Amino acid sequence: TQLLEQSPQFLSIQEGENLTVYCNSSSVFSSLQWYRQEPGEGPVLLVTVVTGGEVKKLKRLTFQFGDARKDSSLHITAAQTGDTGLYLCAVDTGRRALTFGSGTRLQVQP
């Protein structure tokens, strides 16, 4: 079983629509990160959430860390074609390296 389960695995929407991606676990984490990866490139850090219940906004992206620090969500408002990519949540399990979630592949159609 995967430490971090992301849902949905794949999402295809029209430009302008809203969407939410989830990252769930049964474990508690001190912090959680969200990355976006485009084809043929390395992942790029979007945000780090640290406090239970924390909400962070990055333009049209809203990130929330669950109260119990076991899960997180990413909400995109009015998606654009430039939002297309693989969205990954990740945590440091105490060894400094990151464990990544299963990923959500988002495709935004014009």
Show the site string, 62-91: x = touches other proteins by CB under 8 A, - = not: --------------------------x---
- What's the closest the beta carbon of residue 11 comes to other proteins, in angstroms? 14
- Could you tell me where the beta strands, DSSP code E, fall in the chain? 5-7, 10-14, 19-24, 32-37, 44-49, 55-58, 61-65, 71-76, 85-92, 98-100, 104-109
Per CB under 8 A, the list member of 17, 27, 28, 45 interacting with other proteins is: 45
Q: How many CB atoms are located within 10 Å of the residue 58 CB?
A: 11
Per CB under 8 A, the list member of 50, 55, 68, 78 interacting with other proteins is: 50
Per CB under 8 A, the list member of 31, 62, 73, 84 interacting with other proteins is: 31
